[in-house]
Chains A and B, each alone.
Chain A
């Protein structure tokens, strides 16, 4: 879809045209779902969060600038929806620096290293990160936001963002050390 076509769709959706909005959902649902899946770590929650993100996007469509591409805006809304959900969990505590426990206590790194696909393993390790680390990794590595943009998105000091990002990468490096 060209940017002109997309702009026209957004303009119609802004005017209340549900068919136009359906096309937007259809075109971006995959990306929005993946943001939610990386942050929430399970399909059912991610699908629900993706739907909520689109509904929220529809409600705030009036504030969207037609001159900008809609995909990053939708992804950011999805990330916000997920972060709001995660905020309720204990893991957003600043003191929590632990990885989530393994689902199977008998499964050590050896068992995990034979995961069918490498990206499954990486995704798995990502999902074990404390949510605030997951958030900075998502916004920096998958949505390509600058430190300043992440700080503004998460409403946290820049210094916290930098240190979380570094710790998150360090944790991931440790966890993925055995991955060939």
Chain B
């Protein structure tokens, strides 16, 4: 064997070379003083590194580590529940407002061809909810805000009923979207490690 390369010597010292190479290096260093010296020098490094003792810690790290640990995640904190409740309330109100102006049931229910659901149910449900909870009469009496004709703006094809959306309703819809955004953010923040409540 020629003089072993650095890489071969490395693997030899780390006991990573295969048996034939190992045997070849063994017999080579018996006859080659230069390579024997190279091996001995490196072997000395191995034993020097084994001599390195552990250094004692000057103080216990436990308390400082614990102080920096993220607290356990609690999804249902009081603040989160209040935020979620408020957001759901706004969303529900917005939904009622939106249902009243868009008239979705009148358009879609006949196409389902399910006789028992064709008539009273949608009108009854939304009308009742609307009369109980709606303040849209405030919008016409007090605010007198302009109305957007959705058919002419967004739905120009024929056969679709006119959809009119007052700015007042639109504000509520946007508020609902905002509220849903708040819910989403609240959930994301709750799941973010390192945030303390």
Q: Would you call A102 an interface residue if the criterion is a C-beta within 8 Å of the partner chain's C-beta atoms?
A: no
B: number of interface residues (CB 8 Å)? 35
Interface readout for A149-180 with B: 1 if CB under 8 Å, 0 if not? Answer: 00000000000001101100110110011010
B55 close to A37 (CB less than 8 A): yes
CB-based nearest A residue for B56 = A30
What is the bound-complex CA distance between A173 and B57, given in angstroms? 29
From B41, B53, B62, A29 is in contact (CB under 8 Å) with B62
Q: Would you call B114 an interface residue if the criterion is a C-beta within 8 Å of the partner chain's C-beta atoms?
A: no
What is the bound-complex CA distance between A58 and B131, given in angstroms? 55
From B7, B61, B62, B65, A166 is in contact (CB under 8 Å) with B7
Residues of A within 8 A of B55 (CB): 33-34, 37, 43
What is the bound-complex CA distance between A24 and B62, given in angstroms? 9
Residues of B within 8 A of A172 (CB): 45, 48-49
Binds B, one of A46-54, A63-71, A86-94, A105-113: A46-54
CB-based nearest B residue for A167 = B6
Residues of B within 8 A of A50 (CB): 61
Q: Would you call A141 an interface residue if the criterion is a C-beta within 8 Å of the partner chain's C-beta atoms?
A: yes
Q: Would you call B54 an interface residue if the criterion is a C-beta within 8 Å of the partner chain's C-beta atoms?
A: yes
Interface residues of A (CB under 8 A from B): 16, 18, 21-22, 25-26, 29-31, 33-34, 37-38, 43, 47, 50-51, 54-55, 58-59, 118-119, 122-123, 126, 137, 140-142, 146-147, 162-163, 165-166, 169-170, 172-173, 176-177, 179
